[in-house]
Homo-oligomer: A and B are copies of this chain.
Amino acid sequence: MITVALPKGALLKDSVARFAAAGLDFKAITDPNNRLLMVPSACGRARALLVRNGDVPVYVAYGQAQLGVVGYDVLREQQRTVAQLLDLGFGGCRMAVAVKASSPYRRAADLPAHCRVASKFTRCASDFFGALDLPVDLIHLTGSVELGPLTGISEAIVDLVATGRTLKDNGLIAIEDLFFSTARLIGNPLALRLDTGLLQNLVAAMEEQGVEHA
């Protein structure tokens, strides 16, 4: 039996649609009345675990799920030992540095050394500012990072930007991109090595939907 870890939230609907097109129907999971976190596929040959975005690589790395769908941003932040199989193309957003629109900073390198940067993605931020050779004081927040510059707890933030509406509503502007993120299909390396064709066929069927290798 194949177990697939699917992310709650913005990526769920498209994830379910992509598995459905490849023959695994987890549509019961998107039913508003569904309260189950473990849902069998309509055919009974597979099951889906409904978990938080950040927990998808954990379940796949430990092998409790052979496959999973998760944003590239999470993969970059967590650096787990999972295989990236496909770029699924949806859920596109940028990881960007943003500052107050009224600030004088227009590039990340304009930020003063030892300034504070708030982020949910402190590893991504640390790598980025490390490569710039700009020492910054990183503050890990778990939500509403846009409050950082407004309250004065940080000069800048590193956060995901999709439409840019949240930034605009809070008087912030994105000044530099770290990378572009989309949803990825990931797999457990050992499960892929021991696979007798089941996983390979499923990945191939998902790939045929016109998607490139990650």
Contacts and interface: CB of A to CB of B under 8 A. Distances in A.
A190 to B, nearest CB: 15
A143 interface: yes
Nearest to A50: B144
Contact of A51 (B55, B62, B147): B147
Contact of A38 (B3, B64, B147): B147
Contacts of A135: none
Number of copies: 2
Interface in A12-55: 37-38, 49-52, 54-55
Interface in A136-163: 139-144, 146-147, 150-153
Taking residues whose C-beta sits less than 8 angstroms from the other chain, chain A's interface range is 20 to 34
Contacts of A64: 151-153
Contacts of A153: 58-59, 62, 64
Interface string A60-87: 0010110000000000000000000000
Give the residue among A58, A141, A147 with the most B Cβ atoms within 10 A.
A147
Q: Which 6 A-B pairs have the closest CB atoms?
A: A52-B143, A64-B153, A64-B151, A54-B142, A52-B142, A55-B141
Interface of A: 3, 8, 37-38, 49-52, 54-55, 58-59, 62, 64-65, 139-144, 146-147, 150-153
